[in-house]
Amino acid sequence: MTYGGAVLSVVDPFYGLLIYLAFAILRPETLWPWSVPQGNYSRIVAIGLLVGWTLRGFGNWKFGAARGFVAILIGYWSCIVISAIGAANQTVAWHYVELHSKILLPVLVGLTLIESITQLRQLALVLVACLSFLAWEANLDHLQGGARIREEGFGGMDNNSFCIAMAAGAGLAFFLGMHVKVWWQKLACLAGAAMMVHATMFANSRGGMLGVIATGLVAIYVIPKRPLELSLVAAAAVAALRLAGPQVWARFSTTFASADTRDASAESRLDLWRDCWDVMQKHPLTGIGPDHWPLIAHEYGWPPGKECHSLWFNAGAELGFTGLMLLMLFYGNVIYHCSRLCGVCSHRDAWFSDCGRMVTTALVGFAVSASFVSLDALEPPYYIALLGAATIMVADRAHGTNLAPTINTSALARDCRFA
């Protein structure tokens, strides 16, 4: 896949993009360390992708309804760079810039390459397949008596970060399963969603559990109110309640414990957020610098390297209110527009409404669970946002309506037939 994908990228860079995203999620070196040596697999594919992208004239930059998303992406990226320029530790700051550039550049490139619903489906299938495979590995380890995710994490992620990826992927997989027509693809997607939900339970992550609950509630709200869909939701709810054993319920119940009975982990999060808020007030514009909170945590009485356990407070402390606002808009813009697509169904293809449901549920689940973990470099949410923004863009082109700066759902509805 590495060398074949790099060569294929020169001919058709979109396939190089899919391979790059697959490697970013699977992380082959950590998934199969006994057979895959450390190497520059993603970098090799990325080089082929960028060469092919350049030969294609840098793709199509007519983003239409997604141009607001692109402006936010570039603004957030620029905010990281500006914050890094004034950071105290330049090595740490520019490593952070490099890490995020490896995520944000493919998102931008992907938007210029995607032109059809077929490509959007392929992107969704790759994301769901990779996340489902990780869930399969985690469930297999659990059924064999292991506790790898809970004790070791995966791919440089702790159990909380892994579960947040699962919480986002569950909504994506469920609604992709509702969309596809081939029976084995439908079964595979729904099974993947079930495994992702189960993984958040035995991995002992309260943030992941909250994310799954948020995903489920949004799914109930946006799903078509027809017997088949409602029966699937009911079956999923029953299965989730059955899979949650006494330990899961006991762990989850501590999320809402009172101050007197709250455990040390939950109590420390509140103290960390309070300290991050203090940093945000002292450095409101550009923050203290990318990835710099762990460097100053000891100044607030925490052990050196302590994370603040919230994506949003972490972004505010390190990038200032400007970076926090842009990061929230990065996801919020996609959620808003995709939620408006949920009730619209094209007579030519139901993709637009189905993908609206996929992305809305996935990113809401992510946003809730990310409130409890610092994971600004977690790739899947960025790529789910890419899927949503690209769907908005293709919907604009396909229907010939002026969807920017807001989606004109009434205009789309006139060209739609509801099942």
Asked if 171 and 218 count as a contact pair (C-beta separation under 8 A), the reply is yes
Q: In sequence order, which ranges of 254-310 are alpha helices (DSSP H)?
A: 264-282, 293-296
* CA angle in degrees (0–180, nearest 5) for 232-237-241: 150
Classify residue 338 by its DSSP letter: H
Q: Rounded distance, CA 233 to CA 231, Å?
A: 5
Residue type present at position 333: N
Q: Is the dihedral of CA 197, 203, 206, 211 positive or negative?
A: negative
Paired tokens of 203: 């991995």
| Among 100-109, 152-161, 234-243, 255-264, the least confident range | 255-264
Instruction: Give the chain's mean pLDDT.
Output: 85
Surface-to-core class of residue 98, CB atoms within 10 Å of its CB (0-12 exposed, 13-18 middle, 19+ buried): exposed
- Tracing tokens 């840098």 back to the chain, one arrives at 58
Q: Rounded distance, CA 120 to CA 125, Å?
A: 9
Classify residue 247 by its DSSP letter: H
Paired tokens of 36: 């895959």
- At CB < 8 A and 24+ separation, what contacts does 80-85 make? 80/290, 80/319, 80/323, 82/286, 83/286, 83/287, 83/289, 83/290, 83/318, 83/319, 83/320, 83/323, 84/289, 84/290
- At CB < 8 A and 24+ separation, what contacts does 227-235 make? 229/178, 232/178, 232/190
Question: In the predicted model, is pLDDT for residue 149 greater than 50?
Answer: yes
Paired tokens of 134: 């990780």
Q: According to the model, what pLDDT value does residue 296 have?
A: 93
Residues in the chain: 419
Other beta carbons within 10 Å of 66: 27
- Higher per-residue confidence, 148 vs 379: 379
Q: According to the model, what pLDDT value does residue 97 have?
A: 96
Whole-angstrom distance between the N-terminal and C-terminal Cα of the chain? 40
- Tracing tokens 């697509």 back to the chain, one arrives at 341
Q: Rounded distance, CA 200 to CA 211, Å?
A: 9
Surface-to-core class of residue 153, CB atoms within 10 Å of its CB (0-12 exposed, 13-18 middle, 19+ buried): middle
CA torsion, points 322, 327, 328, 330, in degrees to nearest 10? 120
Q: Rounded distance, CA 138 to CA 200, Å?
A: 10
pLDDT tens profile 192-218: 999 998 888 887 777 788 888 888 889
pLDDT tens profile 67-115: 999 999 999 999 999 999 999 999 999 999 999 999 999 999 999 999 9
How crowded is the C-beta side of 350, counted as CA atoms within 13 Å? 14
pTM of the shown model: 0.88
